[in-house]
Chain A
Amino acid sequence: MSDRPDQPNEPPIAIHYDRVTKIYPNGNQSAVSDLSLDVIKGDLVVLLGPSGCGKTTLLKMTNRLIEPTTGSISIDGVEIHSLPAPELRRRIGYVIQQTGLFPHMRVEDNIAVVPKLLKWDRQRIHDRVDELLDLVGLPPAGYRRRYPAQLSGGEQQRVGLARALAVSPDTMLMDEPFGALDAITRSHLQMELRRIHQTLGQTIIFVTHDIDEAVRLADQIVIMREGRIVQSGDPLEIVTNPADAFVSELVGASDALRRLSLIESGTVATPLAAGIAPPAESIPASTDVRTAFGTMLGAGLRAIGLTDANGDLIGTIDLDTVREIARTHPVEVST
């Protein structure tokens, strides 16, 4: 999560988009239109929207695979055009859907691409490759010498992730990285990514059109349509409080909300602890979590009390719990 050294009210900004516009030479409509966005350091921000909404264009402008028509982008306060594009890109991890692994290179050489460009010595590269393969859950002994064609789709994407992480970039760009994987592999990799993100704390911009993936991964969701930001906020905020019909249709397909409405608040209650003031408002423990969350939002509370059939307070439910449930994988919920 974000580290907030001295000013709790002003979290450090990692990536700053300032009135960015992209118009492609052949198109009269802009792919990204006068877009401004601040990404908080250490956040995993998901750009969400239908195809053609400009999310991939925005992502690729960040490492200058696409040049903005107007506007500026800075990373950690440095304008991205102040250094040569290849140098900029070596500092930013980049993962794409079809993995983009180099088919003629073994796993170890794929992962070592950026370290080699930066002229690390052999021993350091060797150790780093081992470390990264362990990190992404592929035992080095069995995987180092394989070619990408010898790996499953999920394994390839793990290698893609390891390659992007090779020189410990502070910033990662991920363009629908799990889009081509089957549901089970995808959810495994989503969990891995969250674990890695929690461990290493990079700033990640993640593009997807899958609302469930967004809810599961994001610290912040940015919903885009026709090159503009329609809504931006915490996943639960987006899911429960869509800004307009477009967003509500987009999130309508979400399991997350459905999941919340399937769970009784009482089953996830935090027991009352001595010495803590009872919440200002309470609802019956039999109420579903979605309604509980709506009540919290309506009352502006971070937690509310739960009462049993007799109206006695038996515990509380808070935002963190709701969020955790919303993020939990459906396979685990169905049990």
Chain B
Amino acid sequence: MNFDYLFDHWREVLDLTWEHIELCALAIGLALIFAIPLGILISAVPRLRFTTIAILGAIYTIPSLAFLAFLIPVPTLGLGRESAVVVLAAYAQLALVRNMQTGLTGVDPTVIEAARGTGMTPIQSLMHVRLPLALPVLIAGLRIATVSTISLATVTAWISAGGLGTLLFEGITFNRPSMILAGTVAITALALSADLLLRLAERLTPASRALHSAQS
């Protein structure tokens, strides 16, 4: 096992990394479109909370290969990136929605009452007070979802969705450990960078800055 493949084919690894990023970005983007309204909904309607989280939890336990296999026969999805994006977005729901709900319901009730008392409408209270205060928790959810999507997106190479998983599958098929290592290094580096970036974003939210300001 050595780093030969990584050094000799760095341009190919870089291209696949970019493909991987695209795949994950599409998946997370799609996931957010569903997760944000769903999170707001279940934080506003407690009755829906248990069932929603239970369903998302059940989806999370479907083995990824099986999930992908299910989607191959579906028209317009089939083999390739589309199915992969759908599967990855579905897995990301749990972390995103759960943190969205925890973040929103965790806002100090006196602050919410103050928002009402100053004459904010429910929408204004959500936009100006509750979402900004929940933002660090939301970004934490996004970080967990992103990191797990990056690692999960290797499996989707199995249905020709591209990305760094291609190196792993080919490495196994052609018995080239150096290729597997190159893929692993790139995926790990990508996951760690995403983690770091989103941790930074978490710290830069007004709510976190306000909190840290007290300790300075």
Contacts and interface: CB of A to CB of B under 8 A. Distances in A.
A89 B116 contact: yes
A94 B118 contact: yes
Given A86-B121, A89-B119, A104-B132, A147 B114 contact: no
A148 B124 CA distance: 21
A114 interface: yes
A150 interface: yes
Nearest to B116: A65
B110 interface: yes
Nearest to A147: B210
A88 B117 CA distance: 10
A181 interface: no
B54 interface: no
A148 B113 contact: no
A101 B114 contact: yes
Interface residues of B, number: 25
Contacts of B128: 102, 113
B73 to A, nearest CB: 48
Interface string A69-102: 0000000000000000011111100101111111
A18 to B, nearest CB: 23
A166 to B, nearest CB: 9
Most chain B beta-carbon neighbours within 10 Å: one of A88, A91, A148:
A148
A117 B120 contact: yes
A147 B120 CA distance: 21
A103 interface: yes
Contacts of A184: none
Given A104-B210, A117-B124, A147-B214, A98 B110 contact: yes
Given A65-B116, A94-B117, A149-B211, 6 more contacts: A63-B117, A87-B119, A101-B111, A101-B114, A114-B118, A117-B118
